[in-house]
Amino acid sequence: MQNSSVEKNGRPRPVKRKPGYGMQLSELGRAMGMHTVMFHNAVAEQLGLNITDHKCLDYILGKDGVTAGEIARATGLTTGAVTGVIDRLERAGFARRQADPGDRRKVIVVPLPDRLPEIACLFEGLSHNMGRMMARYSVRDAQIIIDFMKRAGEIMRQENLRLREQQAAK
């Protein structure tokens, strides 16, 4: 299946842009990305983790048990790198491996509840302030923002995987 954003010759397909927003959106996206990465790095440091381990833990927390392969596919990390992440999360007391009740040959990674309040505490201010900010918008505007965030997140996921595949091919 051909990527719709790429022409047959492999070059990126020209994008029709709304006038005046491209540069501003790019600059704001860069600033938001930088501040987001630095915030999560600070959270990771508070928890005694590196940022990759912290974000993998975030993925695990959003699931009801996940395999190492699922973490690798979601993040673009190699399975070997994911094994190291899980080892560190186990040592730090955030997650553990357990046999999959549906298939005892399979191992799933589950979060440990003991340290969840410690994590939640670090996000209280962000959650409060984001809630206050979103209260300024109409329901329709909030729906547009949510749609934009979903689409932008999916683009970032795809670009992460594309770059990792490119690196693996070298």
Whether the CA torsion 127, 55, 166, 66 is positive or negative: it is: negative
* Per-residue pLDDT tens digits for 89-115: 999 999 999 998 888 888 999 999 999
Cα–Cα dist 2/146, whole Å: 28
Rounded average pLDDT over 42-69: 95
- 122 contacts: CB under 8 Å, gap ≥ 6: 43, 46, 47
- 106 contacts: CB under 8 Å, gap ≥ 6: 67, 99, 100
Q: Over 50: is that where the pLDDT of 30 sits?
A: yes
77-86, 101-110, 115-124: least confidently modelled range: 101-110
DSSP alpha helices (H): ranges in 2-138?
A: 22-47, 51-61, 68-75, 79-91, 116-134
Rounded average pLDDT over 31-51: 96
